[in-house]
Structure 1
Amino acid sequence: MEKLPKIKEFNAPDGYFDGLQDSILQRARKKNQQVYWKYAAAAVLVLSLGIWQYGGNKSTTSPVSIDDQAMLYIESNQWTAEDVLSLSDDPNAILDQILEEELSQINSEWPEDDWF
């Protein structure tokens, strides 16, 4: 203990404790006001992003037609051919149309002159 330097006695300035309570309360009020501003700014930011995302962000893509939607479901293997036919009013008409398209492609690939 003898090696530690001696500390001079600390004396508070005259009248320091008279205004201490008021200065502490003023600082605490300023900090509370600053905290409210931070929360208010964060709330405004979140609300503006929400409005922009859900209200102001209009989609610029064109709507997909019903036929294209059906093809997307079929190609993604969510619908089978039976599902599509069951949704139709006249499944035989759809099957006839498919057969006509397929037969026209086959006929164009195999001309009748080359059969014999």
Structure 2
Amino acid sequence: MKDISKENSFKTPPGYFEGLSDQILKKIQEEDTGKLPKKEGFGVPENYFDQLEKDILTKTVQKETPVIKLKQYKSYFYAAAAIAAIFILVIGLEWNTTQTLNFDDLAEADITSYIESRDLELSNSEIAEVIPLANLEMDDFMESSVDSEQIMDYLEDSINDLDELNIDLNEEYQ
């Protein structure tokens, strides 16, 4: 790297740029002039530049257009939203008026289905302890009343030995 000189090695001969344009024009004239066209390649219509400024201004000047205002729909939207909110509020308040239920409001079928659907794991003796037997009659458990004659007919048909039941037939029919 030390061998490279720091002087500019590109030098032009003295007077090189003097008369350069004359030399180029002279060289062009000496060469074959048949290659260059005699007429210019681009043409401009007559009086083109006289009317150019007017044409540009007429095309670029903006005409004033009338402004059409759109209706303000925001106020309508707010009014509709307020009416819908009031409507929903009124309906919601009407539906939330529930009555308090008492034990008297429950039907016997509801209580029965609740007990049957739950497995309470109570034995018959536990249920018998809870239910008072003093005020109960046979008709309370049955949907239709049964005559004693019907009971006796049933027992005669289904049981072989009536003596096992210790029923005195004569006492019952009297």
TM-score calculated relative to the size of structure 1 = 0.44
Higher Cα Rg, which structure: 2
| Structure of greater relative contact order (alpha carbons < 8 Å, 6+ residues apart) | 1
TM-score calculated relative to the size of structure 2 = 0.32
